[in-house]
Amino acid sequence: MSEAERSTGGLTRRGFLKGAGATAGALGLAGVAGMTATSDWLAPTKAHAEGEERVAHLCHQFHCLTGCNLKCTIRDERVSLIEPSDLAEESHRTICLRGINEVAHIYSQDRLQTPLKRVGERGEGKFEQISWDEAIKTIADALKASQEKYGEGSVFIRKSTEASIGFDFLGQLLRADQGGNWGLDRGQPNGMTPAFGAYSYCPSRSIHEFSDAATIIEVGHNPLESGIVWSRALMDAVEAGTYVAVLDPRFSGTASKANQWLPVRPGTDAAVIQGMIRAIIDNQWYDEDFVLAHTSFPFLVERATGASYRSATDMAPNPAVVSGEPVGAPYVWDTVTNAPKLYSEEGVVPALEGSWTVDGKELVTEFTLMGEWLADYPTSWAASKSGIDESVIIDLADRYANNGPAIIDYGLGGPDKYTNADVLGHSMSILTALTGNYGRKGSGFGFYGGVGADDPAATLNPWLLPEEYGYNDSGMGMYDMPYHENNIHVALTFGDAFTLEAANANDMLAWVKSLDFFAIIDIYHSSAVDYADIVLPACTKFECEENVKQLRASFGHVMLANGMVDPLFESKSDLQIERLLAAEWGLDHLLPETYEELARASLDGVEELDENMKGITYDALLAQGGCMALPGTGPDWRPDGHADQVYGTPSTRIELYYEYLLGQGHQFPVYEDANEAYEDNPIKDTYPLYFTQGKSRYRIHAYYTASPWFQEDYGPCVNIGPEDAEARGIVTGDDVRVFNDRGSFVCKALVNPSMQPGVLFMAETTYTRYYKEGFLQNVTNSARNERCYEMYHGPQIPYNDTLVQVEKA
Ligand SMILES: Nc1nc2c(c(=O)[nH]1)N[C@H]1C(S)=C(S)[C@@H](COP(=O)(O)OP(=O)(O)OC[C@H]3O[C@@H](n4cnc5c(=O)[nH]c(N)nc54)[C@H](O)[C@@H]3O)O[C@H]1N2
Ligand SMILES: Nc1nc2c(c(=O)[nH]1)N[C@H]1C(S)=C(S)[C@@H](COP(=O)(O)OP(=O)(O)OC[C@H]3O[C@@H](n4cnc5c(=O)[nH]c(N)nc54)[C@H](O)[C@@H]3O)O[C@H]1N2
Ligand code: SF4
Ligand SMILES: [Mo]
């Protein structure tokens, strides 16, 4: 008998795992602590029996922005070793601690094991085990009752990002509301898209081009933790001699590898960028040829109204502008004929600056107006606002403008999570355009790493539902639901949307508690689980009812998960859970029966649609072990995006004057303080510390919180600078209370010299159950910037725009 068999009393591994859930239930799940401790009977060391062994492959995470292919050794039906996959291209055989750590994470104590029904108050976390039949019927009854009484849109169904990869059927079948605009990761893009076109935040050139740049500025981006695999391209550039400057309030991992760290005051990056713009204008470091040929700066504007001076000939609306109506073609001032001419007319030599009167109207160029706007913002202002020396700002401007080609790589965390992020995005657009650092080798601007063109893309067919099915969109973002009247009465989420994706948890959870019903489908006991009426256990990526699981196109490869382990405990795959629920409405026949059917459909005929997909069929994939590279994948892949200088705007140029924001006075990125996190805020007397958050290499958002390895050293902990700690009598390891008017939480303190005075940092997020009290989302800011409702990506959640006080708990 193998050791594994002995330790389970002779039951086979599969049989035992199935039985374990039932036992847990029989013990009565009074609170999470009562759940079966998986750690002792599934400790990794116990898997070293001679038993059966095989290899499985799958695409790991999406939300770390990579998707490595993992090679998993399955021993006695237990995942016991994880290594980089030898099926991937050599340059793409990557893995990180989170991948290796799945060996423990899959079997961790926080796995949801059986369907649960709430027995205590919402938030108390008291449950009893119920059967799948009862759980599914209870959910269906609640959803049906709500839709009958309040209409289809009264049901809220949302999948967390990671859970939504591949398919998203149920919400569409029930025509539920999915909570509208997400309010995540599009703050700077809000300020960039009207200039460069929709989705321009995804760069059109490869991250491997970093090595071709002379200068790279990382604006609040910490790829050494938030883009572990992609940070290799940054380090290659450092080795190639590229100068790297990092703007970050703390001395981040990325700052530690850079040539220069600019310890910016939180929420003030736009001031640094505007100081650079000012220096470039004052010193005439801009690229006049580029500006005249490829930007809107020479376009004419009527001074009195601020409207651009245009012909009657309609041009397409700007796809990146919400109030996008067709516009006329813009005019420039032609210096040859000394008259206004259509910008695109042959032979025109436009003026960059000036003022002219035509038909009694004064016309000026956008460039002239920009100079007038900037007149009020000298570089000394930028320095005092941001805390960065004036000479440092001017030197960086010099380097950026005159030591090109240069790249601006921004993160979607950091400065994105303040109410003024659009001002920063717009400012960086102007800086980039002025210096011509776009569309040329070694230049660029955007969020590099994983979402753009960093690898060739694959083509997969979507699984189509009949036309009549689709989400019902009330137009209200989830972040607005606690604050505005709405028609949501019941909710079902795949993953923890309510406490992970929303700030100011006390407001959000008060709203959740007011709902008639809430059910969650999650793998782990995430923070929102405690508020649910019914909980369904989903299985991990490594488990499935079939041999294959998800097909994914990611990281330059097409990957079909195969060699899966049976779902642990009583958990089920998301597809089977969606099917069980859909069956309650008699709609399960519209869904694929299996992951195999879905994968086959995704690949059916794609060879004819896309040259890159030649030879990548379902059977070929399986025969190859489940992973095939797309042609060109690797560090030599260099798409030549925007070399033609043609942009997705009406004029096809970079359009920097945002006429659609005239009513708000933001046609230029007029500086604005953040909502709460700014020096002169009167509440700073009470809450003097900036509470910034960001990603940790040990987690993907809250995911991996449940890993026992990581818990030992990387549980919830707030980083505080030595001066601030000393003033409060705090030393490393102390329990501290972090609080403001919105709420409070208690966690450990880490006194960290990387923090500048007055600034705290904490890795988002961690399941509530690991805190002594509360959790970080209790203090974060949920303010919505009115101006952003006009913007392409809508208001963004300003988690970092938060002031707090800290004391020893
Ligand atoms: N390991 C890991 N990687 C991830 C994720 C994850 O959860 N874990 N999530 C992914 C997702 S969804 C995203 S959006 C990306 C985000 O990627 P990043 O933007 O790199 O992530 P963050 O760590 O949130 O923020 C970056 C830095 O901003 C700094 N910062 C805070 N406030 C300011 C400020 O006002 N100005 C400046 N200049 N810097 C500031 C923080 O100190 C932090 O070092 O990461 C992705 N990658
Ligand atoms: N305070 C603060 N909060 C933040 C941020 C911050 O900086 N500060 N950053 C924000 C950012 S940038 C983002 S993108 C969001 C991320 O928020 P999400 O997009 O929601 O994050 P994910 O990590 O993709 O999803 C996590 C949830 O899905 C569950 N899950 C994972 N895989 C599966 C699956 O296969 N099936 C099912 N059913 N469930 C699954 C996990 O257990 C977890 O509950 O968080 C935001 N929250
Ligand atoms: S977490 Fe991301 S980087 Fe790490 S192994 Fe998984 S896919 Fe790769
Ligand atoms: Mo994000």
Q: Is the CB of 96 under 6 A from ligand 3?
A: yes
> Which among 664, 693, 727 is the end of a domain?
664
Query: Does residue 690 belong to any structural domain of this protein?
Result: yes
Residue 17, token pair as written in the block: 């795992």
Does 715 share its domain with 650?
Answer: no
Atom nearest to 228 CA in ligand 3: 3
CA distance 176 to 159: 12
Does 649 share its domain with 764?
Answer: no
pLDDT at 3 over 90: no
Ligand 4 centre to CA of 10 (Å) is 46
Q: Is the CB of 502 under 6 A from ligand 2?
A: no
Q: What pLDDT does residue 361 have?
A: 97
Beta-carbon contacts of residue 182 (< 8 Å; ≥ 6 apart) = 477, 478, 501
Taking only the tens place, the pLDDT of each residue in 72-84 is 999 999 999 999 9
Atom nearest to 700 CA in ligand 3: 1
Query: Does residue 792 belong to any structural domain of this protein?
Result: yes
Query: Does residue 547 belong to any structural domain of this protein?
Result: no
pLDDT cut 70: percent of the chain above it: 93
Does 652 share its domain with 773?
Answer: no
Ligand 2 centre to CA of 284 (Å) is 45
Taking only the tens place, the pLDDT of each residue in 560-617 is 999 999 999 999 999 999 999 999 999 999 999 999 999 999 999 999 999 999 999 9
Taking only the tens place, the pLDDT of each residue in 84-126 is 999 999 999 999 999 999 999 999 989 999 999 999 999 999 9
Q: What pLDDT does residue 451 have?
A: 65
Q: Is the CB of 707 under 6 A from ligand 1?
A: no
The average pLDDT across 518-545 equals 98
Atom nearest to 777 CA in ligand 2: 1
Structural domain harbouring 398: 187-454+644-664
Ligand 2 centre to CA of 161 (Å) is 6
Q: What pLDDT does residue 50 have?
A: 58
Q: Is the CB of 523 under 6 A from ligand 2?
A: yes
Does 267 share its domain with 320?
Answer: yes
Q: Is the CB of 95 under 6 A from ligand 3?
A: yes
pLDDT at 365 over 60: yes
Angle at 631 between CA 626 and CA 635, to 5 degrees: 100
Confidence of residue 42 (pLDDT cuts 50, 70, 90): very low
Q: Using N-to-C axis directions, what is the helix angle for 379-386 and 390-402, rounded to 10°?
A: 110
Does 756 share its domain with 660?
Answer: no
CA-based nearest residue to 804, from 715, 722, 743: 743
pLDDT at 21 over 50: no
Query: Does residue 459 belong to any structural domain of this protein?
Result: no
Q: What pLDDT does residue 452 have?
A: 65
Ligand 1 centre to CA of 219 (Å) is 10
CATH number of domain containing 279: 3.40.228.10
Q: Is the CB of 94 under 6 A from ligand 3?
A: yes
CA distance 691 to 780: 8
Taking only the tens place, the pLDDT of each residue in 700-718 is 999 999 998 888 778 899 9
Does 284 share its domain with 331?
Answer: yes
Does 324 share its domain with 207?
Answer: yes
Q: Is the CB of 265 under 6 A from ligand 1?
A: no
Query: Does residue 134 belong to any structural domain of this protein?
Result: no
Q: What's the chain's average pLDDT?
A: 92
CA distance 58 to 41: 26
Query: Does residue 228 belong to any structural domain of this protein?
Result: yes
pLDDT at 47 over 60: no
Split into its structural domains, the chain has a count of 2
> Which among 664, 699, 715 is the end of a domain?
664
CATH number of domain containing 778: 2.40.40.20
Residue 248: C-alpha distances to residues 255, 318, 386, 398 (Å): 8, 33, 11, 20
Name the pairing type of β-strands 155-159 and 490-494.
parallel
Does 245 share its domain with 275?
Answer: yes
Lowest-confidence range among 37-46, 158-167, 342-351?
37-46
User: How far from the centroid of its chain's Cα atoms is residue 470's Cα?
Assistant: 24
Please report, to the nearest 10 degrees, the dihedral formed by the alpha carbons of residues 266, 271, 273, 276 taken in order: -130
Does 325 share its domain with 207?
Answer: yes
Q: Is the CB of 702 under 6 A from ligand 2?
A: yes
Query: Does residue 304 belong to any structural domain of this protein?
Result: yes
- Could you tell which of 63, 64, 704 is best to mutate to test the pocket of ligand 3, judged by most ligand atoms within 8 Å of the CB? 64
Ligand 4 centre to CA of 227 (Å) is 12
pTM of the predicted model over 0.85: yes
Does 375 share its domain with 245?
Answer: yes
Q: Is the CB of 64 under 6 A from ligand 3?
A: yes
Q: What pLDDT does residue 806 have?
A: 98
Taking only the tens place, the pLDDT of each residue in 671-693 is 999 999 999 999 999 999 999 99
Does 323 share its domain with 445?
Answer: yes
Does 660 share its domain with 735?
Answer: no
Q: Is the CB of 695 under 6 A from ligand 3?
A: no
Residue whose CA is at the smallest distance from ligand 3 atom 4: 96
User: Which protein residues have their CB within 5 A of the ion that is ligand 4?
Assistant: 185
Query: Does residue 123 belong to any structural domain of this protein?
Result: no
Q: Is the CB of 701 under 6 A from ligand 2?
A: yes
